Amino acid sequence: MRNALVKWTASIVLGVGLMWLAFRGEDWADVGRRVAQVDWVPLLGYATLFFVSHVVRIVRWGALVRALGPISWRQVVSAGAIGYLCIMVFPLRLGELVRPYLVRGQGGVSGTAALATVVVERVIDGLLFVALFFVFISFLPPTGDPRVDAVKLSGYIAGAVFVAALLVLVAGYTRRQATVSLIERVGGRVHPGLTRKIVRVLDAFLEGLKILPDRRRILIFVALTVVYWAIQGVGMKLMADAVHMPDVTLSGGFALLAILVVGIMVPGGPGMTGTFELALSAGFSLLLLSEESRANITVYIIMLHVTQLLVQVVCGLPFMVGRAQGLKAALRETGDA
């Protein structure tokens, strides 16, 4: 309980601090007036597209996790809907641990092996969007904003992190026994008991990486990834139309999406509070916009975040009813993680 309280407190403080950085100096009376002027037709269109992409996202994860054992699609959809809701709501991205826990024991799948699918999912998304980030910004005219260099530097750093993670995953799978043996030899001299626990977890995790050489499943995953993010990119442009930012182009929408995806992978406050706002705020530095459009940036960020949160809550809540006990156990383990 104390551990969970510390995490929630730290995440709330972090989220508030990042929110202040993103919105400092904002005229909230003006923001309120502009929110009242939002065009609800494209806004509902965005919510619909986000719902469709959310379904595709769950199916995409199912393509990976079903490689580990005979897990039914009903179990996949339930775990995915609840898990993605928890990612959105929990602090410090601790919700990432919920999906693996909810499918643990189904079809003989271990929670650690299921966690490997989440890691693969995150690494591939990260690599894709770091690459797309540099592709799409090449189509954007220079803005002269001093934050652009910092955003580009963040892209290079994120790229290096995800490339390193991919190399570790591949090396861990192809040289599994050598990796485990090295840890046993080195760790055994320091703390044999702790080393045995680490090796058990690592061995189960590497077992989950057996999806990597499965060409068919990886191709399905990649195809669904393209569909998923294409829908999301079009949605970013649709949200711009809803908040009266007509000069946000499709390329600009994808550039914003790329920065947002990489930005929210960094642990932040509950509901991704802070990291979501700061990432998008920095992303807009790449776009050449009119003064009127710039005045609507905060409205765009708020409406995008609230809509995504509501869609994922609506999708996840019905599945929580039948899995209340399993979710409570998952929350206890997540709080102690």
Query: What are the residue ranges spanned by the domains of the chain?
Result: 34-74+102-316
Mean local confidence (pLDDT), 92-108: 80
Joined tokens for residue 336: 């102690």
**Highest mean pLDDT out of 37-51, 74-88, 188-202, 208-222:** 37-51
Mean local confidence (pLDDT), 322-326: 61
Long-range contacts of 214-220 (CB under 8 A, 24+ apart): 214/67, 217/63, 217/64, 217/67, 220/63
Claim: this prediction has a pTM higher than 0.75:
yes
Contact 289, 248 (CB under 8 A): yes
Mean local confidence (pLDDT), 304-332: 80
**Cβ neighbours, 10 Å, residue 307:** 19
In this prediction, residue 218 carries a pLDDT of 83
In this prediction, residue 171 carries a pLDDT of 74
In this prediction, residue 208 carries a pLDDT of 67
Band (pLDDT 50/70/90 cuts) for residue 213 is low
Cα 67 to Cα 211: distance, rounded to the nearest angstrom = 6
Answer whether residue 337 shows pLDDT above 60: no
Cα 32 to Cα 28: distance, rounded to the nearest angstrom = 6
In this prediction, residue 111 carries a pLDDT of 77
Joined tokens for residue 287: 């776009």
Task: Give the list of residues 6+ apart from residue 30 with CB closer than 8 angstroms, or none.
Answer: 295
Band (pLDDT 50/70/90 cuts) for residue 211 is low
Cα 124 to Cα 1: distance, rounded to the nearest angstrom = 34
Task: Give the list of residues 6+ apart from residue 77 with CB closer than 8 angstroms, or none.
Answer: 58, 62, 319
Which alpha helices (H) appear in the chain, and where do they start and end?
Answer: 2-23, 28-35, 40-65, 73-89, 98-103, 111-137, 147-174, 176-188, 192-208, 215-242, 250-263, 275-283, 291-294, 297-322, 324-336
